[in-house]
Amino acid sequence: MKTLLILGLQILLTVCVAAEEVSITVENHDLKGTLIPSPKGKDLAVMIVSGSGPTDRDGNTTGVKGKNNSLKYLAEALHTNNIATLRCDKRGVGGSLGAGVKEEELRFDTYINDVVAWVQFLHTKGYRKVVLLGHSEGALVATVAAQKSNIAGLVLIAGAGRPAQDILRAQLKPQLSEKDYSRANQLLIALSKGHQVQNSIPALHALFRPSVQPYLISWFKFDPAKELAKIKSPVLIIQGSTDIQTSTQDAQKLHTEAKGSQIEIIEGMNHILKRQDGDLKAQMKSYTDPSLPLHPDLVPKLDTFIRAQVKK
């Protein structure tokens, strides 16, 4: 027991000592992240791109009590496999809080350009190859950023296969009356065409508030499957079977568009990369429970794909 305890502490100390706080400046704004180098050198680094909303570098949502630490655990697990990782706080979140911009000025492309800048940072640090790994909405950000970057591979975990406006339609339909849904659909059509709208549905004020409409317009122009079809680098698509936010159908759609891509469906993995069944109560609890480890099948599948890119 004493030997096991010492070994566990050694692993923990290795991760803590290796982690390096890093920053870049984009358009006079400082962005912060954590780089965990590999003891094996600088052959390759994985940049982890977090999902939607105020999500920090560890995969946790600002303002929500409790943590899941999904991306933190992912970075540390890859480190134990001697793979360097970089994970970053989005603008307006965590260490990048001061880099936030006014809501009416924020665009989806802002996040894309930030990721491109981080990839360039890794290359300047001496990393020969960079694999972009996008989680949830970060999958789309990583896909478009990959088109503007020199990358060795692209990994999409729990990414949507449909445009955002189609996802919103599916979410709104069961919540609205037929009349309100029809009106909401017309608003989504107009926004998809690049036109700001006058919302007449009080219940949807937060969704269609004027200050957020420029961001929605910039987001709606991207079709994840069509954007992925433009990628020439190796692609790995991973989807959990018990994910309540994206589905295996999303993964299959992405796989169909990305010629030559690999797809892995992990049985019993949910949206935050933990082992969970379909029980909604247990699912929601897992989003704020840091004691739950990553699904055991995730890192081995990532490791196989990533190491293959090093050898090329």
For residue range 217-263, what is the model confidence (pLDDT) as tens digits?
999 999 999 999 999 999 999 999 999 999 999 999 999 999 999 99
Give the Cα-Cα-Cα angle 238, 108, 50 (nearest 5 degrees).
40
Give the Cα-Cα-Cα angle 164, 165, 171 (nearest 5 degrees).
90
pLDDT at 34 over 80: yes
For residue range 47-106, what is the model confidence (pLDDT) as tens digits?
999 999 899 999 999 989 999 999 999 999 999 999 999 999 999 999 999 999 999 999
> In this structure, is residue 44 part of a structural domain?
yes
Give the Cα-Cα-Cα angle 168, 142, 227 (nearest 5 degrees).
65
Q: Position 151: which residue type? A: I
> In this structure, is residue 305 part of a structural domain?
yes
pTM exceeds cut of 0.85: yes
11 — phi, psi (to 5°)? -60, -45
**What is the reported pLDDT for 9?**
43
235 membership: H or E segment, kind and range: strand 235-240
> In this structure, is residue 127 part of a structural domain?
yes
> In this structure, is residue 253 part of a structural domain?
yes
- The rounded distance, in Å, linking the Cα atoms of 80 and 6 is 16
Burial class (CB within 10 angstroms; exposed 0-12, middle 13-18, buried 19+) of 89: buried
Q: Shortest CA distance to 207 belongs to which of 181, 234, 240, 235?
A: 181
- The rounded distance, in Å, linking the Cα atoms of 127 and 44 is 6
% of the chain exceeding 90 in pLDDT? 89
> In this structure, is residue 264 part of a structural domain?
yes
Q: How far lies 48's CA from each of 74, 90, 139, 233, in Å?
A: 9, 11, 10, 17
Q: How many folded domains does the chain comprise?
A: 1
> In this structure, is residue 199 part of a structural domain?
no
> In this structure, is residue 232 part of a structural domain?
yes
> In this structure, is residue 271 part of a structural domain?
yes
Q: If you average pLDDT over residues 109-120, what whole number do you get? A: 98
For residue 122, the enclosing domain spans: 14-163+222-310
Q: For residue 272, what is the domain's CATH number? A: 3.40.50.1820
Where do we find the tokens 């490791």? Answer: 303
